[in-house]
């Protein structure tokens, strides 16, 4: 197992990159389950966006002198451990919605930080443009599911994943503080 020093902002961008890749994982799982054409189209476009976002962070990490690494710790992994692998489309989309809400809130907050490196802000803004559509179409699908499956089932799934995600996000905040405070050694998976 290789240990590498990841400092701010490369360490933080590595978390963002990891989160985009995890999002792409979730969408691939959804694509294997979705049986209607309309859903296949939306999921494929969504997957293409998340893969591009992971690439944008990868490019920037390299441009800033860092090297991409697969993280072994941090909030995306924490969430995965807590959530496991939901099997229904409704659960997977509720989880996607919760994760997307956080991404938008987090990227907006980060883009507004005074004195932030302009190249980081530029990538955040570009990605934020795509995130609006992600939230809109998933929200729309969940609203239709409420009519079919009942409000309680959808609300319960959203509440469940929101409660788990809050803890995962707290994990990211702790990691970010460590990254800012000093050089920390994060366990990474060598490619």
Least Cβ distance, residue 134 to Fe ion (angstroms): 4
Cα distance between residue 105 and residue 132, in whole Å: 11
At a CB cut-off of 8 Å and minimum separation 6, what does 177 contact?
none
Cα four-point dihedral sign 159, 31, 136, 102 = positive
Cβ within 8 Å of residue 113, ≥6 positions away: none
- Between 17 and 53, CB nearer to Fe ion: 53
Per CB under 5 A, does 22 bind Fe ion?
Answer: no
- CA torsion sign for 86, 89, 94, 97 is positive
Instruction: Candidates 6-14, 55-63, 80-88, 96-104: pick the segment binding Fe ion (CB under 5 A).
Output: 96-104
Q: Is residue 134 within the footprint of Fe ion (CB under 5 A)?
A: yes
By CB under 5 A, the residues from 148 to 187 that bind Fe ion are: none
Tell me the window of 25-33, 53-61, 83-91, 167-175 that interacts with Fe ion (CB under 5 A). Answer: 53-61
Stretch that binds Fe ion, among 73-81, 98-106, 118-126, 163-171 (CB under 5 A): 98-106
Q: Which residue has the tokens 């989160």?
A: 19
Task: Work out which of 17, 22, 29, 53 binds Fe ion, going by CB under 5 A.
Answer: 53
Told to check if 29 binds Fe ion by CB under 5 A, we report no
Give the tokens for residue 52. 């591009």
The C-alpha atoms of residue 116 and residue 113 are separated, in whole angstroms, by 6
Among the candidate windows 10-18, 31-39, 92-100, 104-112, which touches Fe ion by CB under 5 A?
Answer: 92-100
Is the CB of 50 or the CB of 175 nearer to Fe ion?
Answer: 50
Q: Give dist(CA 120, CA 13) in Å, integer.
A: 9
The residues binding Fe ion (CB under 5 A) are: 20, 50, 53, 100, 131, 134
């Amino acid at each position: 197992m290789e240990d590498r020093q990841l400092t701010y902002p490369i360490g933080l961008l590595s978390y963002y990159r990891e989160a985009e890749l995890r999002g792409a994982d979730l969408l691939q799982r959804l694509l294997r389950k979705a049986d209607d054409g309309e859903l296949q189209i939306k999921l494929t476009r969504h997957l293409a966006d998340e893969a591009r976002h992971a690439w944008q962070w990868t490019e920037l990490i390299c441009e800033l002198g860092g090297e991409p690494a697969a993280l072994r710790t941090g909030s995306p992994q924490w969430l995965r451990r807590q959530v496991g692998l939901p099997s229904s489309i409704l659960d997977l989309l509720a989880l996607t919605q919760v994760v997307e809400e956080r991404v938008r809130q987090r990227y907006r907050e980060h883009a507004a930080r005074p004195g932030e490196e302009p190249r980081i802000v530029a990538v955040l803004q570009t990605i934020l443009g795509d995130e609006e559509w992600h939230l809109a179409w998933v929200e729309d699908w969940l609203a239709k599911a409420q009519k079919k499956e009942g409000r309680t089932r959808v609300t319960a799934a959203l509440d469940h994943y929101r409660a788990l995600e809050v803890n995962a996000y707290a994990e990211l905040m702790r990691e970010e503080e460590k990254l800012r405070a000093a050089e920390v050694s994060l366990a990474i998976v060598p490619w």
